[in-house]
Amino acid sequence: MSTYTETIRARGHEHVSCQHTSTLEVTSDDWLTPAGDCIVAIEADRVPSDFADTFVNACRDHDSTITAHLATDEYEQTVTGRGHPDLTFENDRGMVVRTSEYVDDRTVMVGADTAAAELDRDLIEALAGGSELVVKLRVE
């Protein structure tokens, strides 16, 4: 089976709180309000609409495993979920990892084993302090 990877670079923000219990998001927006409790990072340099067709097509399989490896200089965590035939990867602002089966144009993974509220608090503190974040999405 083939493996495809997409790498996104973003940064934390003082309002990163990661309290949401069913999603986590990385956005290309350059701002964040306290209400954005699922957002882990802003100013993403790539969004779903930028991803390669080979990556997107591989993610449209129910049997595919998708991982999101989140890393700052000091902390890292991996979130695992799966693909879905309805994933479009058309959004040009942000990407959402979901613990549910819900799919919209921002969704990059369903059935995730971790939401924003379950991320390591040291990782969240680093992001709230403005740390750079590298997200490596991998599908196999």
pLDDT band at 40 (very low <50, low <70, confident <90, very high): very high
10: nearest Cα among 22, 24, 23: 24
- Domain of 8: which CATH number? 2.60.120.630
44: nearest Cα among 4, 93, 89, 6: 93
Tell me phi and psi for residue 63, to 5 degrees.
Answer: -85, -5
Determine the Cα–Cα distance for residues 34 and 91; give it in Å rounded to an integer.
23
Domain count, the chain: 1
The domain in which residue 126 lies consists of 4-139
Question: What is the token pair recorded at 48?
Answer: 């779903």
- Please, what is the average pLDDT of the chain? 97
State percent of the chain over pLDDT 70: 99
pLDDT band at 96 (very low <50, low <70, confident <90, very high): very high
Average pLDDT over residues 112-133: 98
Q: What is the pLDDT of residue 33?
A: 95
